[in-house]
């Protein structure tokens, strides 16, 4: 029981770190009179990549550093993660995502009231599509997350902790390069595939902060766009399962 609590706590903290730094970089480039205002897409994607790397460095040796329900479900679907721990991981990840977003709200407390655009404020917390097309947006999230899973297990294989069948992600962190490589993978996905939807590729990264947006007293915040919110949840889950099964069925691991 204590072991389960420790891994759930690690996933909570790791996902909170992810959204603190990730949503934080979006706030920095988006909110009025921030010193990093209008820093651009490369700043955002690099910030998210480093957010992933730092979170995984800090808690990965405890829980495997999933910090993403899609990763957890993808690995469980091919038998490389116990289903008994899936509910605890998912709950911890979504709660951590919301907590990190609340911290971003506090860090940028003085900037909400001087930022006029409601969509900009929502974009700090949840993803919004550049062109709203549910089918196209869903496909984008599926492909991006499939790439994420393939990259994660591929990095694990080359770092010596992944078998042909799948991943022992906790073992990745015996090698100090693995979390950085995973962060660079997320950076690459953001640069190449993130333009259409803002690349959630992580249900907790979107759902947790979106819940925070709905509950926080943000001046002039507008709607939380729950009509779109299912896409960055369902798309990453489907994509993760596809990516995990591509690895399993093709025998990329030899």
pLDDT digits (tens, 9 = 90+) for 98-156: 999 999 999 999 999 999 999 999 999 999 999 999 999 999 999 999 999 999 998 88
Instruction: Check residues 163 and 93 and name the one with the higher pLDDT.
Output: 93
> Please, what sign has the CA dihedral across residues 211, 24, 90, 133?
positive
Structure confidence at residue 171 (pLDDT): 58
The predicted model gives 170-183 an average pLDDT of 76
Q: How many other CB atoms are found less than 10 A from the CB of residue 113?
A: 11
Structure confidence at residue 166 (pLDDT): 44
Helices 203-215 and 118-125 cross at an angle (nearest 10°) of 130
With 60 as the cut, is the pLDDT of residue 164 above it? no
Alpha carbon dihedral 83, 68, 218, 37, in 10-degree steps, equals: 180
Distance separating alpha carbons of residues 188 and 183, to the nearest angstrom = 9
Of 45-49, 168-172, 184-188, least confident by mean pLDDT is: 168-172
> Cα dist. 67→126, 204, 229 in Å?
16, 8, 19
Structure confidence at residue 170 (pLDDT): 59
Average pLDDT over the chain, rounded to whole?
93
Distance separating alpha carbons of residues 88 and 15, to the nearest angstrom = 13
Instruction: Write the DSSP string, 98-160.
Output: HHHHHHHHHHTGGGSTT---HHHHHHHHS---SS--HHHHHHHHHHHHHHHHHHHHHHHHHTT
CA 55 remoteness from chain centre: 11
With 60 as the cut, is the pLDDT of residue 2 above it? no
Give 40's pLDDT tier (boundaries 50, 70, 90): very high
Instruction: Check residues 192 and 250 and name the one with the higher pLDDT.
Output: 192
With 90 as the cut, is the pLDDT of residue 3 above it? no
pLDDT exceeding 90 applies to what percent of the chain? 86
Structure confidence at residue 169 (pLDDT): 65
With 80 as the cut, is the pLDDT of residue 223 above it? yes
Structure confidence at residue 157 (pLDDT): 74
Helices 203-215 and 2-30 cross at an angle (nearest 10°) of 70
Q: Which three-class secondary structure state does DSSP give residue 167?
A: strand
Structure confidence at residue 160 (pLDDT): 57
Distance separating alpha carbons of residues 182 and 153, to the nearest angstrom = 10
pLDDT digits (tens, 9 = 90+) for 55-110: 999 999 899 999 999 999 999 999 999 999 999 999 999 999 999 999 999 999 99
Structure confidence at residue 163 (pLDDT): 44
Instruction: Check residues 174 and 156 and name the one with the higher pLDDT.
Output: 156
């Amino acid at each position: 029981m204590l072991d389960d609590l420790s891994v759930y706590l690690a996933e909570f903290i790791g996902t909170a770190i992810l959204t603190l730094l990730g949503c934080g970089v979006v706030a920095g480039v988006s909110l009025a009179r921030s010193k990093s205002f209008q820093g651009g897409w490369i700043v955002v994607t690099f910030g998210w990549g480093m957010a992933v790397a730092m979170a995984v460095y800090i808690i990965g040796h405890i829980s495997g550093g999933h910090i993403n329900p899609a990763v957890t479900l993808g690995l469980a679907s091919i038998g490389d993660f116990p289903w008994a721990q899936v509910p605890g991981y998912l709950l911890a990840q979504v709660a951590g995502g919301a907590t990190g977003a609340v911290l971003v709200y506090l860090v940028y407390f003085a900037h909400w009231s001087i930022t006029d655009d409601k969509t900009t404020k929502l974009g700090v917390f949840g993803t919004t599509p550049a062109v709203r097309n549910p089918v196209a947006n869903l496909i984008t999230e599926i492909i991006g997350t499939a790439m994420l899973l393939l990259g994660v297990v591929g990095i694990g294989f080359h770092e010596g902790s992944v078998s042909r069948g799948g991943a022992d992600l906790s073992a990745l962190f015996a090698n100090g390069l693995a979390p950085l490589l995973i962060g660079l993978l997320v950076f690459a996905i953001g640069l190449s595939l993130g333009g259409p939807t803002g690349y959630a590729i992580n249900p907790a990264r979107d759902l947790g902060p979106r819940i925070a947006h709905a509950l926080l007293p943000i001046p002039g915040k507008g709607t939380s766009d729950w009509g779109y919110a299912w896409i960055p949840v369902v798309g990453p889950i489907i994509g993760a399962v596809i990516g995990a099964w591509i690895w399993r069925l093709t025998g990329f691991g030899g």
